[in-house]
Structure formats: structure tokens, C-alpha cells
A and B are shown apart, each in its own frame.
Chain A
């Protein structure tokens, strides 16, 4: 009788150990997927950048204009630019998730087209500020044209440039970069070339940049 009881206990001990091993194994596999990378394509003059030209800290963002998370971080990054007028620069790289965001590519094209006339960042800001409006509009291009008018740029040229080689090469180049980089989602941030976990809130983000500036 005692022997049988012992055998039963042994079975349960083995089961617990086995299950623990299985769960740990899965945690290991899952954590591989969320590993943080290094920026492969360094910031260059061809990038859209804003801020201190000789910034100590550069934040590169792979972003999708229609992504709500990117819309959320737009506000945070804007505040970072206010709080760190010196030593800080921001770089925007297009990574439209076309399969889930129908108009992300068009938005990138609109920003790029505005950029041809020197208003990339103004258009970038407008697109994010009004993300909740145009993303559900029945005429998304029409919305972007209105923004272009507001920015005072040549609307006809804007409409043509949306389909231009220059604008689209840049977008496709960013996309290819992102794919090489194995981007898992947007936004993906790199601080001085090192990928970071997306901060949970502004305080966290500010602290991170502050630390990096004071290194």
C-alpha cells in the first residue's frame, strides 16, 4: 500500500516538474520574439528629421500614420521635443502596415508629397492630429488635399507628387529597412541606434531620453 502511494506521489512530482519545464520553455520561445534590436540603417541626410542638427540623442521611429498607437506616441514625442529643445532630434521612417491599415500608405505619400514642398513635418503633425477624422472619412485623399491647402502648398503639385518616384522610393526604402530590421509592429523606436521597449507613459519616455542625454 505504501509503495503505491509513493508511486502516485512520484508521478505527481514528475508531472509538476514536467509542466514547469514546459511553461518555462514557452516563456523562452515567446521572449525570443520580443528581443530588442539595433538600428541597421543609420540616420542619413535622406531621412526626415527634426530637432537639433547636432543632437546628442536621436530618436528614430518606424511608424504607420493610421496606427492608433503611433497616434498616441505622436503626442508623447511632441512633448519630448518641447522638453528637450537642445540635444534631441527625431527621425521619421515610414512603415505602413498596409494589411491592417488601408490608408497608411496614402498618408505616407501625402506627407512625402508635402515634404517635396518643404512641409513634411507640418503635414506629419496634421495627419496625426486629425487621425481620428480622416481614417474614417469616405474620401481620405480629399482630406489630405484640404490639409495641403491649409499648409499653403501647391495643391496640384501635391497631388502629382503623391505618386512620384521620389516620394514612393523613400517610402519603399523605409519599408525595406523596417523589414530587414524585423519590425514587429508600430511604433518601433530606436534611441541612438538601440531599440527600446515602447514606454508605458510620458514620464517613462522622458526619463529615458533624459538619461541618454546625460550619459
Chain B
């Protein structure tokens, strides 16, 4: 029996993906536009985002984060259209990746940089939610994921 709300988790994914995208891309845009040589007035965000941990090959992490959340958003929308189980698998992997990476970044903020960035914390929460809600994605995909 097809429940009307069987895909509620996917809809939550759409919302979280969009929210994560907005959060991460705002950070990336700010970084991209504020590129002058300056010492910035104190703010946890500046300390964290100007640290070595905030970039990969010279590209700010926030950019990759924006791409990641965009993927989650787009995949979730596509799932509602074609109900492909394969998409659900991808979403699971993305959610797991997000969780692991968020834990790493959180540990770096707390124990290494010792500064907190609000936007980064929001992103970590979004990733955590994605992982938790992931357990409620349509059932078949969940078991497939476990039986890998």
C-alpha cells in the first residue's frame, strides 16, 4: 500500500539540501568577494575560514560544501520525479560522507583552531540531520545500503 507520505524523508532532504546550499554558498561568496589583503576585525568565522583547514588546493571548503548540498537537493528532486532506487543509494552515500566530514571539521574547530564559525556549525547540523533522516528514506534502499 502506497502511503501518501512515503517520500516525506526525501522532501526533508530537498529542504535540507537547499538550506545547506544557501548556507555554504553564502560563505563561499563572501570569501570570494572579500579577497583584499587585510586583517579582519575579530569574528570566529574569519578565524576559521582563513585557517589552513578551510581550503583544499586553494579553493575554499565552502565551495565544495555548496556543491555537495546542491547535489543532495538536485538528486532528491529527481527522485520524486523518477523514483529511482539508485538515487537513494547515492543519497545515502552522500549523507554518510557529510556526517564523517562534519565530524572532522567540528573536531578541528574545537580542538585545533579553537574558534567557532556559526555557518560551519549550521552546516554540521544539516549534515547530521541528513544522516539521521537517511534512515527513513524509502525502505528498500536502506536495506540495500546495509547489505552492501
Smallest Cβ-Cβ distance to A31: which chain B residue? B33
Contact B38 A26 (CB under 8 A): no
A30 partner residues in chain B, CB cutoff 8 A: 26, 29-30, 33-34
A69 CA to B25 CA in the complex, in Å? 26
Contact A185 B41 (CB under 8 A): yes
- Which positions 29-68 of chain A face chain B at CB distance < 8 Å? 29-31, 33-34, 64, 67-68
B contacts with A, residue count (CB < 8 A): 20
Contact B40 A185 (CB under 8 A): yes
B37 partner residues in chain A, CB cutoff 8 A: 69, 72-73, 198, 200
- Which positions 2-41 of chain A face chain B at CB distance < 8 Å? 8, 11, 15, 19, 22-23, 26-27, 29-31, 33-34
- Which positions 83-120 of chain A face chain B at CB distance < 8 Å? 97, 99-101
Smallest Cβ-Cβ distance to B36: which chain A residue? A198
Q: Is B110 an interface residue (CB 8 A)?
A: no
- Which positions 28-83 of chain B face chain A at CB distance < 8 Å? 29-30, 33-34, 36-42, 47, 70, 74, 77, 81
Q: Assuming A8-B81, A11-B77, A26-B22, is B39 touching A68 (CB within 8 A)? A: yes
Q: Assuming A100-B39, A184-B38, A184-B40, is B81 touching A23 (CB within 8 A)? A: no
Q: Is A183 an interface residue (CB 8 A)?
A: yes
A187 partner residues in chain B, CB cutoff 8 A: 38
Q: Is A135 an interface residue (CB 8 A)?
A: no
Contact A33 B30 (CB under 8 A): yes
Binding site for B on A (CB under 8 A): 8, 11, 15, 19, 22-23, 26-27, 29-31, 33-34, 64, 67-70, 72-73, 97, 99-101, 183-188, 197-198, 200
